[in-house]
Structure 1
Amino acid sequence: MKVLVIGANGQVGRRVVQELAASQHEAVAMVRKEEQVNHLKELGAENVVLGDLEKDFSEAFEGIDAVIFAAGSGGSTGADKTLTIDLWGSVKAMRYAEEKGVKRFVQLSSVGTPDPDQGGEKMKPYLVAKRVADDMLKTTDLDYTIVRPGALSNDGKSGKIEVSAEGFASLKDRSIPRADVAALLVKVLDQPNTYHKTFEVLQGQASFDDGLASL
């Protein structure tokens, strides 16, 4: 599949591009700045397109078979950017996908989204944006998968996960490497049992195949 990676220059997005390059799929990286193009090509993107989530980026969907939405406004921005990028950017991506006939849509979300009120004041705008974006995705006709990782680390890829469709009882002292999250986002692309599913994921003891088989 030709896969559009939205948020390709982010910490997870760059790893997604690398994972796609090592798979049978093709990565089409969407970035906001011209100076980011060559780096994404070096990471393995077959093509790089320019697109701004705060504007019309529908042209990026031409010829695309699937979407991985891994964009985020980042911790240094305010609630305004969280709304326009994490929420509205996601909603626009869903609409463009529907308009262009792109059925497969994988969305990177977060644990804590089921009840943003429990996330603390600093995290609340982010969790609300992700929760509403997830809820909007569920109303579409897209073959979606929503992946909600716990705290992210920069540890190397472990290849071992724990998956929960109901949500983890405790997240204390637990995390998951960004490398594992990126690999999982690519893994679910052609896993029909993950269609129309939402699940949380942490580093664990199960292989990707075994963890996903539990859904």
Structure 2
Amino acid sequence: MYVVIAGGHGKIARRLGRLLTGRGDTVTGLVRNPAHREDLLADGTSPLVCDLEALTPADLAVHLAGADAVVFAAGAGPGSGAARKDTVDRAAAVLLADAAVLAGVRRYLMVSTRGAGSPPPAGADETWAAYVTAKTAADEYLMAQDLDWTVLRPAALTDEPGAGAVRLTAGRSVGDVPREDVAAVLAALLDVPETAGLVLELAGGPEPVAEAVARAAAERTGAR
């Protein structure tokens, strides 16, 4: 499988890249900063320097040629203001969707966030509210496209070692989840095309990753 990861130097993205290349997949990581190339090369991922805030869908589509799937794992990051929450967390995700359509790449995994899909709570921090608003808009845009999309909304992220067990549901995620387990779920989702069309909430839990993803796919199939 050939996978292109937007935001390839992010904490989830690098973990995912190592998982995929370790099992024999080919991965390209899109990065804005040329200084990040060496880190991706050390992970076994092929870096491609491009600025998702400056490209057109046609520009980006060229870089997606031949891919089996794309993963949106980019983010404006801590310390960024509301404006970049919109240009990265929303607009760059929209750009990747439009480019995937042009390139004929049907599979799209979105790394979203807890709280997306609903308005920010009253009194929420301005930056957090802008982030949730941007992620909600990105999710909604993706879900309206003719793509085999899956939206994954993790709970609070930690850098603890992965447990290999999660809670994967259609309900609101509660608690936290190691980034390592988020990456493992993304890798498993790529292997189960029947999870296309699902919005999944992810937190730490009791169910092994592969079983949780298989169950989500079975529940979707059974609901048809």
The code of the aligned residue for 2:134 comes to A
Where does 1:14-25 land on structure 2 (aligned, <5 Å)? Answer: 14-25=14-25
Normalising by structure 1, we get a TM-score of 0.93
Match of 1:93 among 79, 88, 96: 96
- Give, in angstroms, the shift of residue 159 of structure 1: 0.4
The code of the aligned residue for 1:20 comes to L
The code of the aligned residue for 2:133 comes to V
- Richer in helix (by share): 2
Does structure 1 residue 188 correspond to structure 2 residue 189? Answer: yes
Match of 1:158 among 141, 159, 163: 163
Q: Distance in 1 between matches of 2:90 and 2:29?
A: 20
- Give, in angstroms, the shift of residue 61 of structure 1: 1.1
Aligned residues with identical type, % of pairs? 31
Does structure 1 residue 61 correspond to structure 2 residue 64? Answer: yes
Q: Distance in 1 between matches of 2:69 and 2:152?
A: 15
| 2:11 corresponds to | 11
Unmatched runs of 5 consecutive residues or more in structure 2: 217-224
Deviates more, 1:129-138 or 1:205-214: 205-214
Q: Distance in 1 between matches of 2:34 and 2:214?
A: 40
Q: Distance in 2 between matches of 1:55 and 1:61?
A: 16
CA contact (8 A) 1:30 1:60 kept: no
* RMSD (Å), alpha carbons: 1.3
- Displaced runs of 4 or more, over 2 A: none
- Give, in angstroms, the shift of residue 43 of structure 1: 0.7
Count of paired positions:
210
| 1:201 corresponds to | 202
SS at match of 1:115: coil
| 2:220 corresponds to | none
Where does 1:21-36 land on structure 2 (aligned, <5 Å)? Answer: 21-36=21-36
Normalising by structure 2, we get a TM-score of 0.90
Deviates more, 1:114-123 or 1:91-100: 114-123
Q: Distance in 2 between matches of 1:208 and 1:92?
A: 30
Q: Distance in 1 between matches of 2:188 and 2:111?
A: 13
| 1:213 corresponds to | 214
| 2:110 corresponds to | 107
- Give, in angstroms, the shift of residue 22 of structure 1: 1.4
